[in-house]
Amino acid sequence: MTDQEEQSLKEAKRKEKSAAEEIEQIARDQTRRKAYLAREQAIEENQKERETKRAENRAAEDIEQSTRDQARKKAHLAREQVIAKAQEARKLKAKKQTQE
């Protein structure tokens, strides 16, 4: 085998090895990209679930707050009515006393 043939053989082997390494690198890159995208998707789904839970909790809290506000308003109105009736009763009593 001549020097040139040996050199050609070495060059062909080097090119084969380089091509194989490039294919392996591409495969590793694809695997890495797929793993990255899968992680990102899992994170995004987790964030959506958390946001949904937060929204549900906020809605439940809003309903509870509304219920408490309504109860507070009713209690306040009832107190105001009691006060108004008591004032009216005092006025009537005072009026009777002045008439006697």
Residue 99 has pLDDT above 90, yes or no: no
pLDDT number for residue 1: 64
Query: Using the 8-state DSSP alphabet, how is residue 37 labeled?
Result: H
- Assign residue 12 a region: left if phi > 0, alpha if psi is -120 to 50, beta otherwise? alpha
For residues 61-78, one letter each, b for 16 or more C-beta atoms within 10 angstroms of the residue's C-beta and e for the rest, the string is eeeeeeeeeeeeeeeeee
**Domain boundary assignment for the chain:** 1-72
pLDDT tens sequence across 16-62: 999 999 999 999 999 999 999 999 999 999 999 999 999 999 999 99
**Position 41: which residue type?**
Q
User: Is the pLDDT confidence value at 88 over 90?
Assistant: yes
100 by DSSP, 3-state: which?
coil
Instruction: Give the whole-angstrom CA distance, residue 23 versus residue 32.
Output: 14
Q: What is the pLDDT of residue 87?
A: 96
